[in-house]
């Protein structure tokens, strides 16, 4: 009985609530018609098929204007310095170059083969001045003789004459580091025997 009573009362109440909600939704949804924005101003671009003549202002040059133009300045002159002539002798502490045999141009031994040549020095290392000789203020020279292999390396090095035994080891060590262009005979590299040269030791040099 109580359930029927609640049902009879609840149906009208639910209907009223539903009607109120529907009315509220209509109010929220309704909007006045807003006026449209003013139409944008039309922009018209006209393209003409006929090309217009464009007048370019030209400056008239006269002969006086051309002659009055100043030429560019000349480039600066850089003074040239003349090289000073060497004042020292070609012979230094290395000593003179070794003497090689001059070609024999007499008799039937004349050879005009340009490929033949004697051994030529390429690299000559200066000897290190012996410390003991330098402490004593001792100067001197050593004459050394050696052979040049077909590879251009000195070998069979021997001291011919030396003013002091203090210079012998330094002389041999220096000659061992020299390099030569080998002697050429008939287009082939051969041994060069008996090359002799003198190394001079000067403290001031």
Q: Which domain holds residue 117?
A: 113-201
In a domain, 35, yes or no: no
Helical (H) or strand (E) element with 140: strand 140-148
Q: What is the pTM of this model?
A: 0.46
Amino acid 93: pLDDT = 44
In a domain, 13, yes or no: no
Between residues 83 and 61, the one the model is more confident about: 61
CATH number at residue 150: 3.30.2420.10
Residue 202 pLDDT > 90: yes
Q: How many domains is the chain partitioned into structurally?
A: 1
In a domain, 107, yes or no: no
Between the CA of residue 77 and those of 16, 71, 193, what are the distances in Å?
A: 113, 17, 56
């Amino acid at each position: 009985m109580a359930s029927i009573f609640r049902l009879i009362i609840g149906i009208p109440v639910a209907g009223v609530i539903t009607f109120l909600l529907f009315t509220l939704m209509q109010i929220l949804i309704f909007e006045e018609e807003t006026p449209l924005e003013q139409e944008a101003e039309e922009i018209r671009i006209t393209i003409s098929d006929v090309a217009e003549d464009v007048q370019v202002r030209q400056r008239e040059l006269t002969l006086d204007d051309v002659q009055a133009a100043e030429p560019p300045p000349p480039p600066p002159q850089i003074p040239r310095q003349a090289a000073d002539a060497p004042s020292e002798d070609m012979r230094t502490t290395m000593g003179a170059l070794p003497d090689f045999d001059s070609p024999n141009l007499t008799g039937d031994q004349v050879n005009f083969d340009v490929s033949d040549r004697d051994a030529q020095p390429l690299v000559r290392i200066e000897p290190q001045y012996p410390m003991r000789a330098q402490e004593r203020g001792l100067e001197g020279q050593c004459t050394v003789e050696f052979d040049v292999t077909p590879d251009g390396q000195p070998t069979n090095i021997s001291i011919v004459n030396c003013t002091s035994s203090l210079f012998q080891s330094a002389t041999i060590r220096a000659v061992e580091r020299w390099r030569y262009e080998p002697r050429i005979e008939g287009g082939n590299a051969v041994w060069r025997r008996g090359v002799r040269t003198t190394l001079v030791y000067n403290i001031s040099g």
